[in-house]
Amino acid sequence: MTPDKAEDEGNEDVEMVEIFVMGKRYRVPKGLTIMTALEYAGYKFTRGCGCRGGFCGACSTVFRTEDEYKLKMDLACQTAVEDGMFLVQLPFMPAVRAMYDIEEVEPEEHDNILLDHYPEIARCVSCNTCTKACPQDIEVMDYVQAALRGDVERCADLSFDCIQCGLCSIRCPADIKHYHMAQMARRITGRYIHEHSDELEKRVQEIKNGEYDETMKEMVEMEIDKLKKTYEERDIREEG
């Protein structure tokens, strides 16, 4: 593929921007997301791409713009390309994750259950680099600090929007694995702190009984347009 593809095809009215992918120059139409721009440039994603909607955290990207010394991080599926962008996409984050049995991590029975499993959180120097890296605008440093003082629920609340992209953890000078720790906090909160939900239990039982198997099968086989329409017209009800 040549960098000037759009112009070659006579699409002069499409404004193009110049980007550098792992050092190689491409011209891509303005307004594309990083993800679609990479595809436009001929890359095919086998990893580092999932929902394309900003939910799954698979598409972490590191980039810098022309006259800025700072490295920036964001999600490739949510960020528009800019002229003079230098970028690379990160397909996988090899972060450690603690193993535990959810039935044995009742927070009341331990001094600090998160610190026990992720002792490295005590190394936090409050530099706030993690917060600046987060594409979800989460107060990452604050949830690490909440965990450090044993406040599992606050850690869970502050990290609620985390999509496990891992960008915080590759920036942290203390090598903390924020998102795995916070996921543990949310699991503990769901299991021990939040009120038990009867509706949830009922629904899980219904799923186990196979009551939705038929509907699921229908959806898998549905035409894409019909599926979209069904999704848009879905019925959302308040609990209770």
Partner 1 sequence: MKTKASDYETSAMKVMEKLGQPLVEMEDWYCCGAVQSLTEDDIMHQIAPIRTMCCAQEQGEDEVVTLCDMCYNVLRQANDRMKDKEDDLETMNEFLDEDPDYEGGVEVYHLFHILKGMEDEIKDAVEMPLDDLVVAPYYGCMLLRPDNVAVDETEDPEIMEDMLELLGVKVLENPKRTECCGSYHTVNRSDIVEKRVEDIVSYAVEEGAEAIVLSCPLCQFNLDFHQRATDFDVPIFYITELMALAFGLDIDMKNHKIDPRSLLKEKGILE
Contact footprint for ligand FES (CB under 6 A): 49-52, 54-59, 75, 77
d(CA 216, CA 162): 27
Residue 185 binding ligand SF4, by CB under 6 A: no
Of residues 35 and 165, the one with the C-beta less far from ligand SF4: 165
Q: By CB under 6 A, is residue 204 in contact with ligand SF4?
A: no
At position 57, the amino acid (one-letter code) is: G
DSSP 193: I
Q: Which helix (H) or strand (E) holds 5?
A: helix 5-8
- Does residue 74 belong to the site contacting partner 1 (CB under 8 A)? no
Residue with Cβ nearer partner 1 (27 or 177): 177
The Cα 97–Cα 232 span in angstroms is: 37
By CB under 6 A, which span of 7-15, 149-157, 172-180, 212-220 interacts with ligand SF4?
A: 172-180
Q: List CB contacts of 182: < 8 A, sequence separation 6 or more.
A: 143, 147, 155, 156, 158, 159, 162
Residue among 28, 41, 176, 181 that touches ligand SF4 (CB under 6 A): 176
Backbone angles phi, psi at 89, to 5 degrees: -105, 145
CB of 19 to ligand SF4, least distance (A): 23
C-alpha distances (whole Å) from 74 to each of 67, 77, 222 are 18, 9, 33
183 binds ligand SF4 (CB under 6 A): no
Buried-state track 207-216, b at ≥16 Cβ within 10 A, e below 16: eeeeeeeeee
Residue numbers 103-142 binding partner 1 by CB under 8 A: 111-112, 122, 124-128, 132, 141-142
Where along the sequence are the contacts to ligand SF4 (CB under 6 A)?
57, 124-130, 133-134, 136, 138, 140-141, 144, 162-168, 171-174, 176, 178-179
Interacting residues with partner 1 (CB under 8 A): 111-112, 122, 124-128, 132, 141-142, 145, 148-151, 173
